[in-house]
Amino acid sequence: MTGKNKILTALGTSIFACLCFLILFPVLAGLLASFRPGRELIRRGLSINTNFSTMTLENYKYLFSWNTDSQKYFMWFKNSMILTFFAVVLTLLICYFVAYGLTMYEYRLKNLLFFLVIATMMVPFEILMLPLYQEMIDLNLINTTAGVLMPGLCSASTIFFFRQYMFSLPKELLDAGRIDGATEFGISIKIMMPITKPAFAAMAILCAMGAWNNMLWPMLVYRDAAKFTLPIGLNTLLTPYGNNYDLLIAGSMFAIFPVLIVFLCFQKYFIEGMTVGAVKG
């Protein structure tokens, strides 16, 4: 390696190390704050300055002590888990079949249909919010999980990713399945779906993150406090009459684990799916 390449490598490493620190700083500050009393967070704010004399496990003991507040927290946690599960499963299935139809078959207006799908990505959700809310009212889906799920099930970005990934798959597999007597639906399920596992894994992580952290739309749809998801529930801990920072900061850090576990389980396929989907097309 030449001297110039060594300098460029060192410079690139330094830049990415700085970016990594900037990304991890809020997480590290939040983790340290979760071991401090809530009054310390109010007094000093989020900081990575560590004073071991003030660090304690009381916040997590309070979180798992099964008192009134922790019962509400785990109710919100359960609601988020259920919502995220159905959002991921239904989004992946719907977007897979849409992308499959846009990739594996030739017909008139196919490119126009794909353009219309991609065009929806240019419309901010804030513009669609009021029409979608009125639609949920008309369908009598306010304060229901279906009302939260429906608007996001056909994600243009997920369809785009599946389509790009499917360009790498040989269409001869369809002909082979037809020769063997498989139906078109059987080919899509039994032949093509298993070999798109990396794309499913990559999109499962991204969809799970989006559904788990989504706050605005569920807050508009839900009316019953018993149906609140975790982001909404944690937000209710901050009120003009008192702030429960002890539960808020510990609960916020504990809420990271489900998405982290999903990523660790699918990281191998995530990297493969992102790489193939990025270079094929």
Give, for all 281 residues of the chain, the pLDDT tens digit: 566 778 888 888 899 889 988 888 888 888 888 888 877 777 777 777 777 777 888 888 888 888 777 889 999 999 999 999 999 999 999 999 999 999 988 888 888 999 999 898 888 888 989 999 999 999 999 999 999 999 889 889 999 999 988 888 888 888 888 888 888 899 999 889 988 888 898 899 889 999 999 999 999 999 988 999 999 999 888 776 667 888 888 898 899 888 888 888 877 776 666 565 444 44
- What's the rounded Cα separation, in Å, for the pair 188 and 71? 44
Tokens of 198: 């990396």
Contact yes or no for 159/94 (Cβ under 8 A): no
Main-chain phi, psi angles of 242, to 5 degrees: 160, 145
In the three-class reduction of DSSP (H, G, I as helix; E, B as strand; rest coil), residue 238 is classed as strand
Angle of CA points 249, 63, 58, to nearest 5°? 80
